[in-house]
Amino acid sequence: MTRQTSVAATFLLAVGLITGRADAAEPCPTGLVEGQRITILVEGDGPDVVLIPGLSSPRAVWDTTAERLKGTRRLHRVQIRGFGDAAGVNAEGPVLDPMMREVADYIDDCITDQGRAAPAIIGHSMGGLTGLMIAARVPQQVGKLMIVDALPFIGTLFNPAATVDSVKPQAEQMAAMMRAQYGQPAPTGPVSDPGPVSMAGGMSNQPAGRTAILGWTRAADARVTAQVFHDVMTTDMRGELAAVTAPVTLLYAQDNSLMPADRAKAAFEPQYVGVAKFTAHMVTGSRHFIMLDQPEAFAKAVDDFLAE
């Protein structure tokens, strides 16, 4: 049995408290499972699929995907504490690595240790990086991996020669600015489309997508957002790609107003050299939140990935 920081007892105790059923000791129940740094909503039946959202995003980013899949798949929708609920221990110190280890332990305790096949993992942005970290460091816990618009090292998007040391000062400065927003008065009134020339506009080219992203960002704990941003900026997985044995599918966005297709291809695909089983698919007409900008193309890509 693999153990990074064992959470089996925590999960099982939480499940017992939540369900109150006689069979509460069942390690992978349907419903909400409470961990230290994450909560996981388990729903549906069939082969296991773990869905991990990105920075500041709650599990709601997967709502449409979950509604389509839960009739044929057992879904495990991760939510990082602070992104839609109270921050808890994520309010201080590093988040990405301990959160990744908790997800890996959950898979071990609640899926593979129960005789079930290693799950498919689908991760968006930071969630894709999390999946890649698990696939490299605990490869037996990953059946296959879909990475949605993420890189082994995000620094290469800004400078192909970037290193962790070279981006660290900028990461620390930007994280400090984000962290300073904690405790500031929150905007009041309903969330509306902030428009294409906005932070959310850089993430989605659809009014509904921008509105959702703005709402999620407002609801996220600024301390957790700042720390996870710093963690992602200073994590470089390129040297660990050879350890990834699971098939990896990369789905990345391309919008002509941001980056032509040839530049997008050059920015994403070469970064995964070293992954033994790798395929990549560009989704045109989309910004970072592919599931919001191109839902039909995203659904087809997910279905094809799970069918392989």
pLDDT of residue 63: 98
pLDDT of residue 8: 38
pLDDT of residue 29: 78
CA-based radius of gyration for the chain? 19
pLDDT of residue 57: 98
Bin 261: left if φ > 0, else alpha if -120 < ψ < 50, else beta: alpha
Determine the Cα–Cα distance for residues 147 and 131; give it in Å rounded to an integer: 7
Q: Is 144 a member of any domain? A: yes
pLDDT of residue 9: 37
Question: How does residue 188 score in pLDDT terms, banded at 50, 70 and 90?
Answer: confident
The total of other beta-carbon atoms located within 10 Å of residue 277's CB is: 12
DSSP state of 213: H
Bin 90: left if φ > 0, else alpha if -120 < ψ < 50, else beta: alpha
Determine the Cα–Cα distance for residues 251 and 258; give it in Å rounded to an integer: 17
Q: Where are the alpha helices (DSSP H) in 124-221?
A: 126-137, 164-179, 207-219
Q: Is 82 a member of any domain? A: yes
Determine the Cα–Cα distance for residues 249 and 121; give it in Å rounded to an integer: 10
Question: How does residue 186 score in pLDDT terms, banded at 50, 70 and 90?
Answer: confident
Q: Is 61 a member of any domain? A: yes
Determine the Cα–Cα distance for residues 84 and 82; give it in Å rounded to an integer: 6
Range of the domain at 297: 8-161+226-307
Query: CA end-to-end span of the chain, whole Å?
Result: 27
In this prediction, residues 23-50 reach a mean pLDDT of: 85
pLDDT of residue 24: 37
In this prediction, residues 49-64 reach a mean pLDDT of: 98
* Nearest C-alpha neighbor of 246 from the set 218, 280, 211, 275: 275
pLDDT tens digits, 279-306: 999 999 999 999 999 999 999 999 999 9
In this prediction, residues 64-89 reach a mean pLDDT of: 97
Q: What is the CATH number of the domain that holds 117?
A: 3.40.50.1820
Q: Is 264 a member of any domain? A: yes
127 pLDDT higher than 50: yes
Q: Is 12 a member of any domain? A: yes
Count of structural domains, the chain: 1
Question: How does residue 27 score in pLDDT terms, banded at 50, 70 and 90?
Answer: low
Across 2-16, 56-70, 173-187, least confident range: 2-16
In this prediction, residues 58-72 reach a mean pLDDT of: 98
Q: Is 100 a member of any domain? A: yes
DSSP state of 3: -
* Nearest C-alpha neighbor of 63 from the set 221, 292, 300: 292
In this prediction, residues 105-125 reach a mean pLDDT of: 96
Among residues of the chain, what percentage have pLDDT more than 90? 87
Determine the Cα–Cα distance for residues 187 and 78; give it in Å rounded to an integer: 27
Across 27-36, 112-121, 193-202, 276-285, least confident range: 27-36
pLDDT tens digits, 200-227: 999 999 999 999 999 999 999 999 999 9
Determine the Cα–Cα distance for residues 215 and 191; give it in Å rounded to an integer: 6
DSSP string, 251-287: EEEE-TTT--HHHHHHHHGGGGTT-SSEEEEEEET--
